[in-house]
């Protein structure tokens, strides 16, 4: 009988390029936060506000693109390559429409940003950055669709390489445009927005070149552009899988977005500390997301090959692997709790000490929920491989909003714990989600 190390190696081989691609996404966010934070504390709070407002809803489109992966992985395992091609072509049309509509929606919400009860200086500075990042959603979503398709075909190194390139470009442009180095204008937060837009356009362009240039990918492209390629059934399938995943991700990111707004009610220092803590949590979370996407492909492939006896062992081993990783990360966050805030904050500013002290408190909570966060993400990936989407979405709604945000609000304001209360509420939500999603997977029968 195969032991856990066999499955660990299998997951690491499949998921490592996906995880590395996710880490580059984290590095982009990390470089934005560190460079903007060292430029100005108000700019950091403005970036936190704008990113929270956008990412809360943009995650729906990200989740929608994730809906492409399970059916493509299933069809590819069954060697039904024409069906893979139809999924790609229909998916690209769907994600183009969604990304444009989402960008228009973000533009229409700009007049309402003042009503979110944030400091006026934060909102004014956030708007130009908000508009640049909102427009970058269009090329980013289309890249994500191509990434999901490539990973479903177990060609995980291609999007990984593109992500690494975009990360390098983003970091360089951040340095040049935020601080005005080597003759470039000093644009501050706007410079970070331009860097994000340029890097995301580059990601899409390079990925399209790869798909049209390499024979393996070109076989899935219909150059006739015939209307017969489009299928109502495939559109319905992509929506049936993608919409619940999108809603599930909105519930989670929305909880953290609302948490940012509540932190802004307390003070701009609390909001800046929230952004730093979220950045660290997001870093480890994206490793879990990479493993989750890998196990989605692994489970979907087993379904496509009708190898049902391996599903439980494959899914459980992915959970065990992420628990080990997250336990190590929790220890490191505890160990470097006092040093991490110093990476982000310009200590010469008057409110720097307050931001550092609040951040240290929040990082303790981040360390506490590391393992449960990893469990809930990977368990959701196992269920997506089985195309079990709707019940996990309901679990996310209950866990993040009833337990997480509801509990966080009570602890922060009526109880008086402030921003730490918000984060303890989120911690309880993640614990609830991990328990329910694990139970959902374990009760599956594959006889």
- Give the Å distances, CA to CA, from 78 to 72, 297, 303: 10, 13, 9
pLDDT confidence tier of residue 190, bands split at 50, 70 and 90: very high
pLDDT confidence tier of residue 228, bands split at 50, 70 and 90: low
Give the tens place of pLDDT for each residue, 267-322.
888 988 898 898 889 888 888 988 998 899 888 888 878 887 788 888 999 999 99
Q: What are 355's two structure tokens?
A: 């931001």
What is the chain's length? 447
**How far is the C-alpha of 190 from the C-alpha of 43, rounded, in Å?**
10
Global confidence as pTM: 0.80
Q: Is 416:392 a contact under the CB 8 Å cutoff?
A: no
Q: Name the residue ranges covered by the structural domains of the chain.
A: 4-442
The whole-number pLDDT of residue 224 equals: 60
CA atoms within 13 A on the CB side of 295: 34
The whole-number pLDDT of residue 116 equals: 75
Nearest-5° Cα angle at 157, 156 to 159: 80
Q: What are 298's two structure tokens?
A: 């692994």
Helical spans, DSSP H, in 110-156: 120-135, 137-152
Of 31, 26, 30, 47, the C-alpha closest to 129 is: 47
């Amino acid at each position: 009988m195969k032991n856990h190390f066999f499955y660990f190696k299998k997951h690491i081989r499949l998921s490592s390029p996906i995880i590395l691609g996710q880490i580059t996404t984290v590095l982009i966010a990390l470089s934005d936060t560190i460079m903007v934070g060292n430029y100005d504390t108000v700019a950091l709070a403005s970036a936190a506000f704008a990113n929270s407002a956008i990412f809360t809803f943009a995650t729906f489109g990200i989740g929608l693109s994730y809906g492409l992966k399970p059916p493509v992985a299933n069809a590819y395992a069954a060697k039904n390559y024409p069906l893979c091609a139809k999924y790609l072509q229909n998916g690209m049309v769907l994600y183009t429409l969604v990304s444009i509509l989402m960008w228009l929606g973000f533009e229409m919400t700009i007049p309402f940003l003042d009503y979110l009860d944030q400091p006026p200086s934060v909102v004014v500075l956030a708007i130009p950055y908000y508009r640049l990042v909102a427009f970058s959603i269009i090329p980013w979503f289309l890249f994500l669709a191509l990434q999901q398709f490539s990973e479903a075909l177990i060609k995980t190194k291609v999007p990984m390489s593109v992500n690494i390139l975009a990360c390098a470009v983003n970091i360089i442009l951040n340095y040049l445009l935020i601080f005005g180095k080597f003759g470039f204008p000093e644009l501050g937060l706007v410079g970070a927005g331009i860097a994000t837009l340029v890097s995301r356009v580059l990601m899409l362009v390079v990925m399209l070149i790869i798909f049209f240039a390499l024979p393996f990918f070109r076989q899935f492209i219909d150059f006739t552009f015939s209307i017969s390629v489009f299928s109502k059934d495939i559109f319905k399938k992509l929506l049936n899988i993608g919409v619940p995943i999108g809603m599930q991700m909105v519930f989670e990111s929305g909880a953290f977005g609302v948490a940012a707004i509540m932190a802004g009610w307390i003070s701009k220092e609390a909001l800046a500390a929230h952004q730093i803590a979220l950045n660290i949590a997001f870093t480890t979370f994206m490793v879990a997301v990479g493993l989750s996407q890998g196990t989605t492909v692994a489970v979907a492939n087993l379904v496509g090959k009708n190898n049902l006896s391996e599903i439980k062992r494959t899914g459980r081993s992915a959970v065990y692997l992420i628990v080990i990783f997250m336990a190590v990360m929790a220890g490191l966050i505890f160990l470097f709790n006092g040093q991490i805030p110093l990476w982000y904050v310009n200590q010469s500013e008057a409110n720097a000490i307050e931001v550092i002290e609040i951040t240290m408190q929040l990082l303790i909570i981040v360390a506490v929920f590391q393992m449960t966060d990893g469990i809930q993400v990977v368990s959701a990936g196992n269920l997506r491989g089985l195309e079990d989407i709707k019940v996990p979405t309901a679990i996310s709604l209950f866990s993040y909003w009833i337990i997480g945000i509801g509990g966080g609000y009570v602890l922060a304001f009526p109880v008086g714990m402030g921003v730490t209360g918000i984060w303890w509420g989120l911690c309880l939500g993640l614990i609830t989600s991990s328990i329910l999603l694990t139970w959902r997977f374990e009760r599956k029968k594959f006889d």
